[in-house]
């Protein structure tokens, strides 16, 4: 397998998205590192409850901003409470398990956190409205997240010294934020669309906070803003390939030619019958031909992933999916045309 000089991972790579089924940190780390030997990730286990979900885990990373659980969801607090402590404790367990199963590992290792815009669309201020409606609160969240991620990435590097850390920002609400489709607390109105330059600027700040780690933005929603993400300086974009339409062709082609990696979600994240590995990436090959891109770029530019997280899958299916992604990526590398 030829080394991809543009990215931290080898050509023909595969990885997971983040979430895994169950609540056993050691079992999840063992599965991920065993199945994804060349590009593992730090698992999330939302089945454990609030604080282990992607929003709660990320809120536990914030610096000088805290949150607690209300019946309506997460809300900003004045001080760290039980929910913050639980979130940090679970992340510590996850890191302990990852460290145990990555002894001597060298290579790319992906960690994830919720991006600033999905966070702002999910977290309530003290008045019960989501932070998205308050530009000052959005800035505070972004700054706190940037500082928290610096510390988190440094901790991962300390625990796994051979890792080349890759940061994934989960932004499933990004398109809704850009299109003014995030509902207010009453549910009767929507928040106005956030200016694209403001959205781009916050994401660029997070890319800068990663201290040289490649940043991949993940969204399993339709209409991923590929061009905006490329301008923000991300290394890669992670998406559900089944949701692509030909409207995205131009932006996709420009992204690849500009060096952006595509983390193509091509394997279903919920239990079902899997096709053969080559069949799973047939759509990627078709896309490549339609875009007129060089076949030699395919394995270098595409990382194969599940379509989204695996929290809703059975443990056996989750293991099968990760192994299937590795085989599908290998088929891309062996036969790009």
Predicted pLDDT at 169:
98
Provide the b/e sequence for 54-83 (b: ≥16 CB within 10 Å): bbbbbbbbbeebbbbbeeebbbbbeebeeb
Q: In terms of pLDDT, which residue wins out, 24 or 274?
A: 24
Q: Report which of 170, 219, 164, 158 is spatially closest to residue 40, judged by C-alpha positions.
A: 164
Question: What number is the average pLDDT over the span 10-27?
Answer: 95
- Mean pLDDT of the region 197-217: 96
Lowest mean pLDDT among 6-10, 133-137, 149-153, 312-316: 6-10
In whole numbers, what is the pLDDT of the chain averaged over residues?
93
Checking if the pLDDT of 336 tops 80, the result is: no
What is the pLDDT at residue 313? 94
pLDDT at 270: 85
The reported pLDDT for the residue numbered 179 is 96
273-322 pLDDT per residue, tens:
888 898 899 999 999 999 999 888 899 999 999 999 999 999 999 999 99
Phi, psi dihedral angles at 333 (to 5 degrees): -70, -40
User: What pTM, to 2 d.p., does this model score?
Assistant: 0.95
Q: Is the pLDDT of residue 4 over 60?
A: no
Confidence band of 337 (pLDDT split at 50, 70, 90): confident
6 pLDDT higher than 70? no
Whether the CA torsion 236, 118, 190, 307 is positive or negative: it is positive
Angle of the 249-257 helix axis to the 282-291 helix axis, nearest 10: 90
pLDDT given for residue 275 in this prediction: 83
């Amino acid at each position: 397998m030829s080394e991809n000089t543009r990215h931290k991972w080898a050509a023909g790579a595969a990885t997971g998205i983040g979430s895994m089924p169950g609540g056993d940190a050691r079992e999840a780390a063992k599965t991920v590192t065993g199945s994804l030997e060349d590009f593992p990730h730090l698992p999330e286990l939302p089945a454990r409850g609030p604080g282990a979900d992607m929003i709660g885990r990320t809120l536990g990373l914030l610096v000088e901003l805290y949150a607690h659980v209300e019946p309506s969801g997460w809300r900003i607090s004045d001080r760290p409470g039980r929910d913050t402590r639980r979130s940090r404790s679970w992340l510590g367990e996850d890191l302990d398990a990852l460290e145990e199963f990555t002894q001597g590992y060298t290579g790319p290792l992906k960690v994830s956190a919720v991006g600033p815009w999905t966070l702002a669309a999910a977290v309530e201020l003290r008045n019960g409205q989501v932070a998205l409606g308050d530009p000052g609160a959005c800035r505070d969240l972004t700054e706190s997240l940037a500082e928290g991620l610096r510390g988190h990435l440094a901790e991962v590097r300390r625990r796994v010294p051979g890792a080349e850390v890759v940061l994934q920002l989960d932004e499933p609400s990004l398109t809704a934020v850009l299109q003014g489709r995030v509902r207010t607390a009453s549910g009767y109105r929507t928040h106005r669309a956030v200016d694209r330059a403001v959205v781009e600027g916050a994401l660029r700040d997070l890319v800068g906070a990663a201290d040289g780690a490649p940043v991949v933005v993940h969204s399993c929603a339709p209409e991923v803003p590929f061009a905006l993400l490329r301008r923000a300086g991300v290394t890669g974009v992670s998406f559900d390939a089944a949701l692509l339409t030909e409207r995205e062709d131009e932006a996709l082609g420009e992204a690849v030619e500009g060096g952006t990696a595509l983390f193509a979600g091509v394997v279903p994240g919920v239990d079902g019958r899997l096709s053969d590995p080559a069949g799973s990436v047939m759509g990627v090959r078709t896309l490549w031909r339609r875009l007129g891109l060089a076949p030699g770029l395919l394995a270098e530019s595409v990382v194969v992933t599940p379509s989204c997280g695996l929290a809703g899958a059975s443990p056996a299916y989750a293991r099968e999916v990760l192994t299937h992604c590795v085989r599908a990526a290998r088929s891309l590398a062996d036969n790009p045309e």
